[in-house]
Amino acid sequence: MKELFHGIRCVFLDRDGVLNRKAAEGSYIGRWIDFHLLPGVEAAIAALNRSGRRVIVVSNQRGVALGLYTPADVEAIHAHLEQHLAAHGARIDAFYYCPHDLEECDCRKPKTGLFRQAFRDFPENSAENSLVVGDSLSDIEAARNLGMPSIFIEGDADTRKSGADRASEYADAVAGSLAEAVTLLD
């Protein structure tokens, strides 16, 4: 495992289901009041920060395209999250999200536009030194599409998504939480 993830300098985190409890299938999180961090997330991000790795959130936010919330709402959640993390000595270096509907852009995961944008903004990072942590098949497929290793976060049986079996198979490792995933890195 340590060999597998050797040389990782940048960790891409999916948001819903990795940082915060994901909404029921078909529901979306558009307000901070509905954003519930999962246990150990602050400490896990702080550990990544201390290790000198870049931490980037990449998120599909189709709720914008569906008119359920606005880009300003997404950004307000991210601002609250940053504030909350700062109080715990943790920091996310950048957020990227796709506000589009299915099949209308090149950034909705499993497409790779969000990652390619991040690599343009942080030229010292690339698919060669990055890792993806996600709880959806689309996260793991996006990683594969760029040749990046990935860790699949397995949800509870009751919120387990379709595609979880394939995601477990494609991913380089499976973990129960971000906190557990981070322990695989060092």
Q: Which residues bind Mg ion (CB under 5 A)?
A: 14, 16-17, 135-136
Residue with Cβ nearer Zn ion (42 or 139): 139
53 near Zn ion, judged by CB under 5 A? no
Residue with Cβ nearer Mg ion (133 or 185): 133
DSSP single-letter state for residue 38: P
Residue 107: contacted member of Mg ion, Zn ion, none (CB under 5 to 8 Å, by partner type): Zn ion
Residue 98: contacted member of Mg ion, Zn ion, none (CB under 5 to 8 Å, by partner type): Zn ion
Which residue carries 């954003």 as its tokens? 35
In what order do the strands lie in the sheet containing 173-175?
94-98, 54-60, 10-13, 130-134, 150-153, 173-175
172 is catalytic: no
Q: Which of 23, 38, 68, 105 binds Zn ion (CB under 5 A)?
A: 105
Residue 17: contacted member of Zn ion, Mg ion, none (CB under 5 to 8 Å, by partner type): Mg ion
Task: Decide if 77 contacts 69 (C-beta within 8 A).
Answer: no
Question: Rounded CA gap, 148 and 139, in Å?
Answer: 11
Binding segment toward Zn ion, per CB under 5 A, in 12-20, 67-75, 108-116, 161-169: 108-116
Taking the CA of residue 13 as centre, how many other CA atoms within 13 Å lie in the half-sphere pointing to its CB? 26
108 near Zn ion, judged by CB under 5 A? yes
Question: Rounded CA gap, 172 and 170, in Å?
Answer: 7
Which ranges of 51-130 does DSSP label H, i.e. alpha helix?
62-65, 71-86, 113-121
For Mg ion, which residue has the nearest CB?
A: 17
Rounded to the nearest angstrom, the gap between the alpha carbon of residue 112 and the centroid of all alpha carbons in its chain is 13
Q: Which of 10, 47, 98, 171 binds Zn ion (CB under 5 A)?
A: 98
106 is catalytic: no
Which parts of this chain interact with Zn ion (CB under 5 A)? Answer: 98, 100, 105, 107-108
* Catalytic residue positions, numbered: 14, 16
